[in-house]
C-alpha cells in the first residue's frame, strides 16, 4: 500500500554531525523503537522530495553507495539491491509450474518487477504502487532496479493496493506483497481480512508471498501474521534472507500456497535452463532459506 518495501523503523532517522579535527562527518541512524539502530556515514544529500504520501530521500553514503530512504527508513542501496528482490520473486516463480499472471502490491523501487520479467513463463505482471513519485525517483537513480518497467508484459497501476485487491476481479497465479511497515495506512494490509481477499484473487493453485518482517525485532507481528495465514492457506512456510540494511539484517518472507510446496515442487530443471545472473538467489539458497533457527520455529509454531 505504501511505497516499496517493508521495514521496521518506527521513528524519524537521527542525523548527527561529529567533529574530527578540521573535518565534519555526517551520520544517519535509523532507530528501531528508540532502542537500537543502524548508523551509516553520509557523504551528502542527492535529492529530497515530499510526495503526497511520504518523504523521499536519496542519500550518498560512504559504505552502501546511493541509498533510497522513505519516511526515514532505509529501503535499497547500491550495495544492497538484490537479496530482498530476488528472494520475494524467484522463490514463488520457480515453485509454481505456470506463473503466467503475476501481481505485485507495492514494490515502488521496481526491483521485484524487474526480477519477475526475467521469467519467460510470465505473460503479464501488474505492479500496483500507491506513490508514483517513488518510481520516478528510482528510475533516475537505480536504473538496474527499474529496467523491468520497459518490458512489454509489465503494467504499472498507481493506486491503493487495498482498494485494488478489494474491488478487482482478475485472478492471478502469483501475488507478491512487497509492502512497507505494518503501521499507519499499511497496517490493514497485514490483517487477516486483507489476506482473505488476496486468497480470493488467486487462481485455484495460486501462491502468495509476503514480506513478513524481522523475527528478531518484530516477534509479536510475525507470530500473529503466521497464525492468520495458516487459518487461510493450507500451506504456509517461512523463508529468510540476509538484507544488510534492514533491522537485524535477517528478514523473513511468508510463502502461502493453495497447492504447491516450496521445496517439493521447486523446479530445479527450469532454474538450470534459465541461467539467471543473480547476485543472491540460487538453487541452494532456495532450499536452504526454509531452514529456520529454533527460536524462529518456536515463534511461528513450525514443527
Per-residue pLDDT of the chain (303 residues; tens, 9 = 90+): 344 444 433 344 444 554 444 445 889 888 887 788 899 999 999 999 999 999 999 999 999 999 999 988 899 999 999 999 999 999 999 999 999 999 999 999 999 999 999 999 999 999 999 999 999 999 999 999 999 999 999 999 999 999 999 999 999 999 999 986 555 445 555 678 889 999 999 999 999 999 999 999 999 999 999 999 999 999 999 999 999 999 999 999 999 999 999 999 999 999 999 999 999 999 999 999 999 999 999 999 997
CA dist 129 and 34 (Å) reads: 29
Nearest to 241 by CA among 263, 211, 268: 211
Q: How far are the Cα atoms of 80, 110, 111, 224 from residue 207, in angstroms, in the given order? A: 26, 20, 19, 20
Helix 192-200 to helix 219-230 angle (10° resolution) is 40
Q: Which residue has the cell 490493514?
A: 188
Q: What is the pLDDT, as a whole number, of residue 181?
A: 59
Cα R_g (the chain), whole angstroms: 19
Cell numbers describing residue 189: 494490509
Instruction: Please state the φ and ψ torsions of residue 285, each to the nearest 5 degrees.
Output: -65, -40
Q: Which domains does the chain have, with CATH numbers?
A: 14-77 (2.30.140.10), 83-300 (3.40.50.150)
The neighbouring-strand residues paired with 73 are 70
pLDDT of 157? 98
**What is the set of active-site residues?**
178
Q: What is the DSSP string of 142-161?
A: -HHHHGGGGSTTEEEEES-H
Amino acid at each position: 500500500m505504501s511505497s516499496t518495501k517493508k521495514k521496521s523503523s518506527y521513528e524519524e532517522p537521527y542525523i548527527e554531525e561529529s567533529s574530527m579535527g578540521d573535518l565534519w562527518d555526517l551520520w544517519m541512524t535509523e532507530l528501531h523503537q528508540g532502542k537500537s539502530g543502524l548508523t551509516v556515514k553520509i557523504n551528502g544529500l542527492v535529492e529530497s522530495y515530499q510526495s503526497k504520501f511520504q518523504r523521499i530521500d536519496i542519500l550518498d553514503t560512504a559504505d552502501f553507495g546511493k541509498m533510497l530512504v522513505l519516511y526515514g527508513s532505509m529501503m535499497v542501496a547500491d550495495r544492497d539491491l538484490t537479496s530482498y528482490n530476488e528472494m520475494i520473486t524467484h522463490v514463488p516463480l520457480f515453485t509454481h509450474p505456470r506463473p503466467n499472471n503475476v501481481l505485485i502490491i507495492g514494490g515502488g523501487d521496481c526491483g521485484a518487477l524487474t526480477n519477475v520479467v526475467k521469467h519467460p513463463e510470465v505473460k503479464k505482471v501488474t505492479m500496483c504502487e500507491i506513490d508514483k513519485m517513488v518510481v520516478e525517483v528510482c528510475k533516475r537513480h537505480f536504473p538496474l532496479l527499474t529496467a523491468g518497467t520497459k518490458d512489454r508484459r509489465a503494467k504499472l497501476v498507481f493506486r491503493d493496493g487495498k482498494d485494488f485487491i478489494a474491488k478487482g476481479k482478475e485472478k492471478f497465479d502469483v501475488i507478491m506483497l512487497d509492502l512497507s511497515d505494518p503501521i499507519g495506512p499499511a497496517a490493514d494490509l497485514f490483517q487477516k481480512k486483507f489476506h482473505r481477499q488476496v486468497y480470493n484473487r488467486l487462481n485455484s493453485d495460486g501462491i502468495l508471498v509476503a514480506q513478513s518482517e524481522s523475527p528478531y525485532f518484530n516477534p509479536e507481528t510475525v507470530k500473529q501474521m503466521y497464525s492468520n495465514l495458516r487459518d487461510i492457506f493450507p500451506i504456509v512456510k517461512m523463508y529468510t534472507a540476509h538484507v544488510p540494511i534492514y533491522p537485524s539484517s535477517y528478514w523473513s518472507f511468508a510463502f502461502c500456497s493453495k497447492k504447491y510446496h516450496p521445496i517439493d515442487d521447486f523446479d530445479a530443471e527450469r532454474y538450470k535452463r534459465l541461467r539467471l545472473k543473480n547476485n543472491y538467489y540460487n538453487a541452494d539458497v532456495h532450499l536452504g532459506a526454509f531452514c529456520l533457527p529454533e527460536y524462529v520455529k518456536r515463534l511461528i509454531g513450525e514443527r
